[in-house]
Amino acid sequence: MQNAKDSFYVALRTRLATVNPERTILLRAAVRPGILVEEAEAPFSQLPTDVFVLRWTAMGLEQDLPSALAAMECEVLYATLGSQSFGGMDRGRALSEMDEELSAILSPYWTGKFNYTTTPATELQTNVFWDEPVFEPLAAVRDRLTRSARVTVYAYHEIGE
């Protein structure tokens, strides 16, 4: 299912670069779109702000089909402190902007499935698709506003995966 997880992430990363090219993160001396996969990065004690963090939380498998179908739950976490120029007083607006960006990058609710262990990436036979996001209530901790959204991602298992 790694190919499905990678394809989902790369699709969202590519879409974010189009929706808001200024939402970036400096990570390992490289500036990239402001989205990352928690399990692929060094552990952090606190969520980075103004970045989308993908966390894979659950997986189920339906094998009573011609091809096994996996359903994986992805939690998208994000937080903001607002901007320094407004002393953080715009953090509600900043969080709303991230809500809108997340909705935009999740649509359409599918992408092609690729194997990213090859160069160039190899296109596989099936697609990865997902449900609409379920947004959790806003959480405020001191000066930080956070939210998470849950998305169920589906992919068929292919021969050779």
Give the architecture (CATH level 2) of 2-156. Answer: 2-Layer Sandwich (3.30)
pLDDT at 125 over 90: yes
Say how far apart CA 134 and CA 117 lie, in whole Å. 31
Q: Do 5 and 56 meet the contact criterion of CB atoms below 8 Å apart?
A: yes
Domain ranges of the chain: 2-156
pTM of the model: 0.94
Average pLDDT over residues 59-84: 91
Average pLDDT over residues 42-48: 89
Where does the pLDDT of residue 88 fall: very low under 50, low under 70, confident under 90, or very high at 90 and above? low
Mean pLDDT of the chain: 94
Average pLDDT over residues 4-30: 96
Residue 127 host element (H or E): strand 122-130
pLDDT at 82 over 90: no
